[in-house]
Amino acid sequence: MNEHDTQRMYDMLADMAYVSVATPDEADVILVNTCSVRANPENKVYSYLGTLRPLKRRNPELIVGVAGCVAQQVGTALLDREPLVDFVFGPDNLFRLPELIAAARRGERLCWTDWQPYEGPVREFVPEHWVEQGHVEGIKAYIAITKGCNNHCSFCIVPRTRGREVSRSPESILREARAVIDGGAREIWLLGQNVNSYRAGDAYGFYELLDAVSQLDGLVRLRFTSPHPRDWNDRLSDLMAARKTICKQLHLPFQAGSDAVLKAMRRRHTLEAYLDKVTYLQRVAPGVEISTDLIVGFPGETEADFECTLRALEQVRFSQVFPFKYSPRPGTAAATLEDDVPRQAKEERLARVITLQERINEEQQRALIGTEQEVLIDGAHPREPGLMNGRTDGYRAITVSGEGLRIGDLVWVRVTESSGHWLYAEADKNASGVAIPNR
């Protein structure tokens, strides 16, 4: 979502006749888009702003703005702490960026973190002209279908920094999807803090939207992120299995393997319920790749609780795991709990998760050698002429050799080797699938 917001800012700046530059010291405007989901990304914001002070001293006309979740969380305190910052704005004020830059040119220092008017569960929070023109990044397009979150997991600051959950109308989303396909998008990502809680009426939810987008003419691949296990169901698994355009890849955060910890996290699902849904998906969509997030060292987590997490990793065999040490976030329910897991224990548990997942990944990568995979080519290899990079349907990174390959081609390949998290393959004209060239 932050990448999507960043691109929107690039687009607005381009409309104002700005062009991007290679280094900060060449810039007239510097925007720092921020994340506060954990303490470390937030701390990096202040560290980075410190590196900009010499630039501001040399060029007092330089405009520096801070956007995103740290901006929403801290507000005017950021202006007080960092005199070099000209304006601060949260995610709900993204499309007011041109007004903020104009105010900064007049010498004003502003903080815009007010929420836009809440008008029920459906709100067109993307301006109409953005919907009609769409935006394609290479061969991909990101479409925000919801914003905000109503789950209030005890560790998560997102509801405080991105607000209450609202959904766009399906008509608006489908118009944008058609626009980006017409603009050359081969792959669409549907985005939301809890993407599968999308709802545009009693009879129209995420299933109906996913079904509609997946059938658009010209679409090659469809992905979405991130769903919540509570709102995932077997009906969605069946749709993923049945619809070729929907990639057989699911990022489904489970956060912890212990029911006691999940309850303290306010996840509103049990490990058994999570595993039942994953097992069903793996049965109806063989070969599906599932990735996840997890937190180690949550307040009250015992060694026995952590062992439950390791067993879950062994059972599901995720394609990717994004593990984090727990850090309290201001204003969350978990921040009131005693952070009683020692730092050393958190680091040791994190290391054990990484070691286990590296073994699982190595086994999965080796098992793919010799298999046929459908790959969407998304770029040239940065160092090896004649080689192209892409992603498998399951989102594994892969380098492909073969004549005449172009960005946007959907080709069948045969995997020849693996190194770390990367696969290597040769385009296979004799594969059982059918290549779809990018025209």
| Secondary structure of 29-72 in HEC code, one letter for each residue | EEEEEECCCCHHHHHHHHHHHHHHHHHHHHCCCCEEEEEEHHHH
Domain 128-367, CATH: 3.80.30.20
Q: What percent of the chain has pLDDT over 90?
A: 85
* For residues 204-219, average pLDDT: 98
279, 321 Cβ separation under 8 angstroms:
no
The Cα–Cα gap between 228 and 251 comes to 9
The Cα–Cα gap between 346 and 434 comes to 48
> b/e map of 410-430 (b: 16 or more CB within 10 Å)?
bbbbbbeebeeeebbbebbee
Q: What is the pLDDT of residues 239-284, one digit of tens each?
A: 999 999 999 999 999 999 999 999 999 999 999 999 999 999 999 9
The Cα–Cα gap between 42 and 32 comes to 11
Delimit the CATH 2.40.50.140 region(s) of the chain.
369-427
pLDDT at 439: 46
Give me the helix-helix angle, 97-105 and 2-15, nearest 10°.
60
Q: Is the pLDDT of residue 124 over 50?
A: yes
Position 407, amino acid: I
Q: What is the pLDDT of residues 280-332, one digit of tens each?
A: 999 999 999 999 999 999 999 999 999 999 999 999 999 999 999 999 999 99
Q: What is the DSSP letter of 118?
A: P
Structure tokens at 164: 């209450």
The domain 2-112 having CATH identifier 3.40.50.12160: the answer here is: yes
Element (H, E) at 373: strand 372-380
Give which of 60, 255, 286, 86 is closest to 154, Cα–Cα.
Answer: 255
Delimit the CATH 3.40.50.12160 region(s) of the chain.
2-112
Delimit the CATH 3.80.30.20 region(s) of the chain.
128-367
Nearest 5°: phi and psi at 63?
-100, 130
398, 415 Cβ separation under 8 angstroms:
yes
Domain 369-427, CATH: 2.40.50.140
pLDDT at 135: 85
What average pLDDT does the structure give for the chain?
A: 94
Q: Is the pLDDT of residue 118 over 90?
A: no
Sign of CA dihedral 272, 323, 188, 419: negative
Q: Where are the alpha helices (DSSP H) in 1-157?
A: 2-15, 39-58, 69-74, 76-81, 97-105, 128-133
* For residues 71-92, average pLDDT: 94
Sign of CA dihedral 366, 371, 377, 378: negative
